Chains A and B, each alone.
Chain A
Amino acid sequence: METPDAVISTRGLTKHYGSVEALTDLSLDVRHGEIFGFLGPNGAGKSTTIRTLLGFLHATHGSATVLGMDVASESVEIRRLTGYLPGGIALYDSLTGEQVLDYLARLQGRAPYRRADLVERLRMPQADLRRRVRDYSRGMRQKIGVIQALQHDPELAILDEPSEGLDPLMQQAFYAILADLRAEGRTIFFSSHVLSEVERVCDRVGIIRHGRLMAVHEVRELLARRRRRVSIQWRGAAPDASTIPGLVDVTVDGDRLFGTLHGDVSEFVRAVASPSLEDLTIEPASLEEAFLEYYAEEPPTPAAAAPSEAT
């Protein structure tokens, strides 16, 4: 069943090219006001999903709604309220950056309310906007791509690999823009294979593999569930490791104990806390590990096919 506040909702969405299954039985809800990360390596089906949502591709089976409208029959209205940044965006090289933005704003039919703010935050001075796009660096093109997607203040932004080509400083500025949009109640669907940025920016993440949705999780929950490498040093003999909750793969090297921690950190810390504890190191949980775990599994097992699990 569809989540009541779902901005994007797909049910059994399938896209086949002949015998090639680009997307299979995708059921997913993206909630209003969240930043949803769509993770997967190249060819996993991220772009196929996005292109189907925007009406560039026609689904073989299944259905999808965006902002409550059907992607097959109300695509134009959906795009009126949506901002889209394609992966590796192509722009009109013979126009200046400003002309591109003006042209796309006219086609959008909505005033570019946010342009001035975006231009300032992404440090795109007027002098650069008046240069032809053909003279732009990759980063500058990407900035224009971000501005054109967001300048008309869309209800939903669909961003395909948005930080590609941006330098670290601009990436920070971009993440801040996304955070502000979320605070204003906008929804962001964010496709990426850069795990660190998904971890940093997104509220929830969907993991796609071979065209199938493998899992949907809160990023916090995913990180909390992750295994962490720990190292403990005691003065004197190490206590019996089997009494420490959640600790597995234990190896002891002199007075130092190494292991992998599963589950609740606070319970673990309580268990190891003692006057003889000299040093404790817990490596930060990484989404990368979680991600690799999904991709290490063979064969693919769609964990989140049921809509209730994918919301």
Chain B
Amino acid sequence: MSTPAAPLRPSLPSRIVAFLSGYGLASVLLALLLLITFLGTLEQAEYGLVASQKRYFESLFVDRIDLGACWRALALDAYLPIGNLTLPAFLLPGGYALMAALFVNMFLGGIVRIRKSPRTIGVVISHFAILFMIAAGAVAHHFGTEGILHLREGQTNNEFVSFHDRVIEIEKVQADPKAKRSALVIDGALYQDLAPGKARTFTHESLPFDLTLTHWLRHARPARLGPEASGEKVDGFGLQKLPHLNAAGAAMPDEQLLNACIATARDKKTGAEQKGILWEMAAAPWTVTFGGEKYVIDLARRSYRMPFAVRLDRTEREEHPGTSRARRFTSWVTKISGTQEEKRVITMNEPMRGGGYAVFQQTFDDGVESRSGVKASGFQIVRNPSDHWPLIACVVVAEGLLLHFLMMLARFLKLPAWTFALSLILAFNAAFAVAIWKLL
């Protein structure tokens, strides 16, 4: 009697692929995604949307978990206060890493290794569409930009500013008002760690001075200080830190926070110093003069250039009949691309699209409350190369699952599977197209 041959142990690459494509890995990844969604949503109450998104959903690792904030968000501190309890850094993978791992898992498991047969074709199509949706998120994260463009009636611009990203810009003032203007840009990530006591110096060969930044505050305002006041003082003013929480104890939206810092411009030749306060809400940038040349230094939101300019010709507010409640804001604009001008209308939920950008009506100013006397519109500008990908992915997921379920039903009813499923899908799609056509 011969002994049965021992089963062959799979090779290491096979085992790695099997592990990466396994249900076990998928389950762990989905559970972790659920956990970070839960924690990130709770922390948002005290840290705000943007900070939570960055920490939990756009990161490779969550650098710390503020359990105290999560506890308070659940109102559990009313029963058992735990104070400011923070878990150590790098305990949890962030959303970016989890989605990358899920992409690999689904690609290997749901596309490469899955048994290909008529029975699984619908599932493969759905997996492919989900991968497409994850890819859409990655493209939007890496290549998308969004911000706001404020225009008064008659005003034209081809730049919008970010909602959240701050920069410091240095511009040399030119004698010729028609000369092309440019600015050196210091990204916010390079100075937003400069708490009082820390400093960083920025240099550029074209500048006659070095710029040292310190005392960065996320939300502050310049306040006049008395002679006896301590702390860094510039021209009689110092930086007064403001709370990040509103009167209700909730985190203020990031776009309402006013960054500030103290800057020192030091002459490269003589070492002479000029000191100023940079503040997001300043009425004008800080002017420094070196060797008869003037430079302006400004803390502002990051600017983005569009491939076309927008001129606001007219903007109107439409009210519900008999009330002063706004029903609709509409702007009549001219889209200017080089020498070409095109009249367009932008209204709520009906943006103007072009050049990869979508221009949405976001805010309206009737000029009375702001006392400007001129009506104005705020346009949200979105550049997202994967703008329509999620919609396409959703349609494909639905088609894939429909195909799968109809083929299962056909087998159960002992009908020809392909004929049954495809004819019904065709009928559903036709009905859907007619419904959309009638609705729009």
Q: Decide if A and B are genuine partners.
A: no
Residues on B facing A (Cβ under 8 Å): none
